[in-house]
Structure 1
């Protein structure tokens, strides 16, 4: 990956019947674990669809590891999808997530947790520059969830960007180097978890959950203008 940011957006906006995402500005460096938080309906899914070139923005621009998100063929090699080779990589990841004994099973017979592991293998298989993991620990037992968290940390240490949309705040608190909170389609808070906790301190032992609840209450926030704001 080159030296530019892994994910950038400038005024990214998507309007369906209403505006789902409004004027989203991101600049996420390589090697980051970016926790992308927001309540249901905040615009997280629409943002993911735009970043993965599944839908085009109404306004604004974005790039994934260089290519514009409006060019699906150029973006896809940089994000998670399943290629048709690299058997050694498949075996390595099957071992990591304890699926080697089930490698020949039909996926329709898998439990929710096993399907989640399979999806993670698919996302990691070709060593992409940017990995978007939507609720990666959902449905996993504690051992598998630990393996996922360790893998995320390892990926970031190897300069891969991990974009982590989730509502599991303890995972974000433990792993994320940067957090963005989306509410009603707008980025209402962004920064390292400890900085957000300090800025929106709500008590003697404030947590990221306290910040999340504070900034996702109507009228309680100012939309961020930059990561340093």
Structure 2
């Protein structure tokens, strides 16, 4: 479960990237975070994960405050950033093992987990290669493997499908559904509205730091009393803001 209460973040003291945000993502749910470029999606995710501190407000993950109980809170989630171009000099296996060390995954179970993840993402033959030799999609997959190696309760994914081939994209969406159906939570941002429509239990639409809508796709249609596509509703909701 993720909870944000009156969270605000400003830059240069004037520009509010996130403005008094209240948001709850319960267990058992895939929550899609939508918004145009510069809407505040990545800033919100960076605050949830503790990379950036809010100016005001509280953020908790499974009841752990990201500011006052940082280590306990960070153990609750796996985070995939919006860029996979990290740790390029490491080999794939070295990176995933490094993440397993950080999260204190026991030696007796990590090998099996690595092989299971590598098998699902078709990465077994690439684990011995340096990440800098990977394609963008392969880098994305190794970042996902590193984020999930400790089997976190909460998944926080920033544009996780970008660059993935169709098979890997299907696999990740399948895993997201499995994770939520097991009573845990998935929070992910995406620009692909069709994916959000098909995959998410609820969506939040943000623009200029404010949540404009939060609910199911059915509720969004009822809000506009319309049967048009999610794309049309999204454009209608954000065009005047």
Determine if the TM-score, normalized by the shorter chain, exceeds 0.5.
Answer: yes
Could you tell me whether the CA contact under 8 Å between 2:66 and 2:74 is conserved in 1?
no
Give the CA deviation at 1:167. 0.8
SS in 2 for 1:215: helix
For residue 100 of structure 1, what is the aligned residue in structure 2?
124
Give the CA deviation at 1:201. 3.6
CA deviations on 1:51-78 (whole Å, 9 max, x unpaired) are: 0011111011110111112132121101
The question of 1:197 aligning with 2:195 is answered no
CA–CA distance in structure 2, aligned partners of residues 174 and 55 of structure 1: 31
Indicate the RMSD between aligned Cα atoms, in angstroms.
1.2
The question of 1:76 aligning with 2:74 is answered yes
For residue 131 of structure 1, what is the aligned residue in structure 2?
155
CA–CA distance in structure 2, aligned partners of residues 123 and 178 of structure 1: 23
SS in 1 for 2:100: coil
With the length of structure 1 as denominator, give the TM-score of the two structures: 0.89
Could you tell me whether the CA contact under 8 Å between 2:193 and 2:231 is conserved in 1?
yes
Give the CA deviation at 1:83. 2.1
Aligned residues: 212
CA–CA distance in structure 2, aligned partners of residues 175 and 28 of structure 1: 15
CA–CA distance in structure 2, aligned partners of residues 140 and 67 of structure 1: 32
Map 1:34-183 onto structure 2 (within 5 A). 34-70=31-67, 71-80=69-78, 82-84=99-101, 85=105, 86-183=110-207
Which 4+ stretches in 1 moved above 3 angstroms? none
For residue 85 of structure 2, what is the aligned residue in structure 1?
none
More helix by share: 2
Could you tell me whether the CA contact under 8 Å between 1:9 and 1:60 is conserved in 2?
yes
Q: Greater relative contact order: 1 or 2 (C-alpha under 8 angstroms, separation 6 or more)? A: 2
For residue 216 of structure 1, what is the aligned residue in structure 2?
238
CA–CA distance in structure 1, aligned partners of residues 176 and 35 of structure 2: 20
CA–CA distance in structure 2, aligned partners of residues 212 and 7 of structure 1: 24
